[in-house]
Amino acid sequence: MKRLLCIILTILTLAMPLCAYAEEGAGGADGGAADSGGVAEMPDASDVLQKDVNNVYAGMDKSYSAGYSPTVANGVATVILPLTATEPLQDNKLRIIPDLGAGGESPFVIKNYEFDVGLAANPVGDGTTAVDSYLVRLDLELAKGRVNGTYTVNIAASGKTVTGADIAQSFPVYVRITDGKSSEPVEVKPETPKPAPKLVLDGYRMNGEPMAGGEFSLTVTILNTNEKQEVRNIDVGISYDTESLYTADGKNTYYIDSIKKGESADITIPFKAHIGVAEGTKTISFTLNYENTSASSFSESGEILLQLKQPLAVKVEMSQFPNETTAGETVPITIQIMNMGRGSIYNARYEIQGDAIKTAVTTFIGNIEGGAAGSKDTSLFVGTLPGDAPYGYTDSTVIITYEDEFGGEYTEELGFSTNILRPVFAVSNDTTEDEQEEKTSQWWVTIVVVAVLLAAVIAAWVIVKQKRKKQYEDG
């Protein structure tokens, strides 16, 4: 009896934990079901784009949820990827860039498949219904030496929501290749690294002068320094001080299809300068984004400095010079230089050149700011004309010289004329000039005659005196 009781107690001790475990398992299952039914699982709010896995679109034999696989036929793999958006997108479009993998391993012919896809009502199923979606279709040309296997095509989709949020998502699609070479492992020799191609700004030339309020263009030469590889898909981005400049065509990015190895290409950028910009050195920055033959991406940068000038506008005025002057007199004049432009002029000065009227030295005025004037007085000596006709009409020129901020020298000229008269001496009212000259000549003759007679008298007196002295000494 005691042995039977011990057996019963042992059985109960072993059974109780098993019952408790069964109750916990039942409770856990019920709880999980309650949780699953009580709160619906929500997609990640950051994933604006979603793959439509439930519908069958044109070119698909089944939906993604049913195991869709891209078709491969006639050397082309056709990939269909329907995308929907949980938020409206700007311009209702997406930028699509597929990644086909490394060129040596990819079964696809490497090309640039970058394109935009717009929102459309795309038919699904038997075509009686449509879904608003972004339908991506890729017809990928297959490489001749492709190897059988399953390959991943990562399709990157980017855009912006109407609220301005950036979208950048990637969707993998698996392509199965069965019509190529065997996928048995082969010995792959390590590839010798190739030097990366490098683009540089090799020079530029200005077409027109960079002038405030004016137009000019900048032709930039871009050189591929690599002697063994060409570069492709070159995007040339530019940036600059928009308060000083802007492009005449409204673009800030320019495209070059390719540059062969060791060669260069030119792009010409039209610019306009604001009229009120301060003159000085302006910087234009360049960013070069490009790819090599293996579709690897590279980037370089550079900058160009240009001298932007304000147009110079100078007006010169001179005080009235007499129409008639007399040889030997001095005439005071004032030269005024007015700076009608916005920029300053520097080292303003002037000199006067002519046959009879000219300055011996240059007259310095100095620097003149925009909208201001500077002046300096001087006196001009009226000489005589060279040659046999020392009197008469003569022309003279005022030569004004000044410089801009960069040391460039400019000149302006202003001419004037006058009639140079013979000097006039004071004479009586009833005596003509010719008579006065004749009288003057007669007066000089009289002086000469008197001087000769006086000399003769003195000589005679000396001779007589000497004779008398001699007679006295002899006698």
Q: What are the phi and psi torsion angles at 145 (to 5°)? A: -95, 30
Q: What is the mean pLDDT of residues 173-183?
A: 86
Lowest-pLDDT range of 63-77, 364-378, 443-457: 443-457
281, 308, 335: which is the final residue of a domain? 308
468 inside domain: no
Domain that holds residue 391: 314-421
Domain shared by 276 and 362, yes or no: no
Domain shared by 118 and 213, yes or no: no
473 inside domain: no
Domain shared by 172 and 93, yes or no: yes
| Beta-bridge partners for 211 | 309
Distance CA(41)–CA(301), nearest Å, equals 48
Domain shared by 338 and 377, yes or no: yes
3 state DSSP class of 128: coil
* pLDDT, tens digit (0-9, with 9 covering 90-100), for 150-165: 899 999 999 999 999 9
308, 323, 339: which is the final residue of a domain? 308
- Model confidence at 467, pLDDT cuts 50, 70, 90, reads confident
**Per-residue confidence (pLDDT) for residue 41, from 0 to 100:** 43
**Per-residue confidence (pLDDT) for residue 323, from 0 to 100:** 94
Domain shared by 297 and 321, yes or no: no
Total count of domains within the chain: 3
Closest to 269 measured CA to CA, from 288, 254, 290, 285? 254
87 inside domain: yes
| pLDDT of 186 over the 90 cut | no
**Per-residue confidence (pLDDT) for residue 92, from 0 to 100:** 95
Distance CA(78)–CA(176), nearest Å, equals 11
403 with 346: CB under 8 angstroms? yes
Domain shared by 258 and 344, yes or no: no
- Cβ-in-10-Å burial (0-12, 13-18, 19+) of 4 comes to exposed
192 inside domain: no
- Model confidence at 17, pLDDT cuts 50, 70, 90, reads very low
**At 94, which CATH number?**
2.60.40
348 with 337: CB under 8 angstroms? yes
177, 209, 234: which is the final residue of a domain? 177
**Per-residue confidence (pLDDT) for residue 455, from 0 to 100:** 79
| pLDDT of 70 over the 80 cut | yes
* pLDDT, tens digit (0-9, with 9 covering 90-100), for 381-420: 999 999 999 999 999 999 999 998 888 899 999 999 999 9
246 inside domain: yes
Long-range residue pairs from 354-358, CB within 8 A, at least 24 positions apart, any chain: 354/394, 354/395, 354/396, 354/397, 355/385, 355/386, 355/394, 355/396, 356/327, 356/382, 356/383, 356/384, 356/385, 356/394, 356/396, 356/420, 357/381, 357/382, 357/383, 357/394, 357/396, 357/418, 358/396
265 with 233: CB under 8 angstroms? no
pTM greater than 0.85: no
Lowest-pLDDT range of 220-234, 269-283, 362-376, 457-471: 457-471
**Per-residue confidence (pLDDT) for residue 83, from 0 to 100:** 94
| pLDDT of 104 over the 90 cut | no
Closest to 290 measured CA to CA, from 362, 225, 372? 225
Domain shared by 55 and 164, yes or no: yes
147 inside domain: yes
Domain shared by 134 and 208, yes or no: no
333 inside domain: yes
Lowest-pLDDT range of 25-34, 186-195, 313-322: 25-34
345 inside domain: yes
**At 384, which CATH number?**
2.60.40.10
Domain shared by 300 and 379, yes or no: no
**Per-residue confidence (pLDDT) for residue 461, from 0 to 100:** 79
Domain shared by 333 and 300, yes or no: no
Percent of the chain with pLDDT over 70: 80
Domain shared by 227 and 270, yes or no: yes
Domain shared by 94 and 113, yes or no: yes
